[in-house]
Chains A and B, each alone.
Chain A
Amino acid sequence: MLKTFPKGGVHPKENKFSVGKPIESIDLPKQVNIPIAQHIGAPSESVVAKGDKVKVGQLIAKSTGFVSANIHSSVSGTVIKIDKILDTSGYKKTCVVIAVDGDEWMETIDKSSGINANTDISADDIRKKVAELGVVGLGGATFPTHVKLSVPPGKTCQHLVINAVECEPYLTADHQIMMEKAEEIMIGCKLIQKAIAAEKVLIGIENNKPDAIKHMTEVAKKFDNIEVQALKVMYPQGGEKQLIKSILNREVPSGGLPIDVGCVVQNVGTAFAVYEAVQKNKPLFERVVTVTGKSVKKPSNILARIGTPINLLIDAAGGLPEDTGKIVNGGPMMGKAVNTDTVPVTKGTSGVLIFPEESASRPEQYNCIRCGRCASVCPMGLEPFQLKNMSKVKMYEELQKERVLDCMECGSCVYTCPAGVPLLDYIRLGKANLNKILRSKKS
Chain B
Amino acid sequence: MAINKLTVSMSPHDYGKDSVKKIMYGVVIAMIPALLVSVYYFGFDAIRVNLIAIAACVFFEWLFQKVFLKGKLTIVDGSAVVTGMLLAFNVPSSLPWWIIVIGALVAIGIGKMSFGGLGNNPFNPALVGRVFLLISFPVQMTSWPVTKVLNFAMTDAQTGATPLAIVKEGLNNGQTFSSIMDSMPYSYGEMFIGQMGGSLGEISAAALILGGLFLLFRKIITWHIPVSILGTVAIFTAILYGINPESYANPMFHLLTGGLLLGAIFMATDMVTSPMTPKGMLLYGFGIGVITVLIRVWGAYPEGVSFAILIMNAVVPLINNWAKPKRFGETIKK
Contacts and interface: CB of A to CB of B under 8 A. Distances in A.
B272 A370 contact: yes
Contacts of B21: 366
Contacts of B326: 7, 381
A352 interface: no
- Chain A binding surface, main DSSP class: loop
Contact of A321 (B1, B18, B328): B1
Given A254-B327, A375-B277, A415 B10 contact: no
A134 B214 CA distance: 56
Interface stretch (A53-61, A117-125, A322-330): A322-330
A383 B324 contact: yes
Contacts of B273: 370
A153 B173 CA distance: 82
Interface in B192-210: none
A252 B329 contact: yes
A389 B23 CA distance: 23
B9 A337 contact: yes
Contact of B12 (A255, A334, A381, A406): A334
B14 A251 contact: no
A433 interface: no
A8 B117 CA distance: 29
Interface in A417-442: 417-420, 422, 424-425, 428
A371 interface: yes
Contact of A7 (B9, B10, B276, B325): B325
Interface stretch (A96-104, A180-188, A219-227, A357-365): A357-365
- Chain B binding surface, main DSSP class: loop
Contact of A251 (B276, B278, B331): B331
A355 interface: yes
Nearest to A411: B12
A409 interface: yes
Contacts of B5: 325
B22 interface: yes
A379 to B, nearest CB: 7
Interface stretch (A37-45, A271-279, A338-346): A338-346
B20 A406 contact: no
B6 A362 contact: no
Given A372-B276, A379-B328, A381-B326, A90 B11 contact: no
5 contacts: A7-B325, A241-B328, A320-B1, A381-B325, A414-B12
Interface of A: 7, 10, 12-13, 90, 169, 241, 245, 249-256, 260-261, 320-328, 330, 332-341, 353, 355, 359-364, 366-372, 375-376, 378-383, 385, 403, 406, 409, 411, 414-420, 422, 424-425, 428
Interface of B: 1, 3-16, 18-23, 77, 116-120, 271-278, 324-333
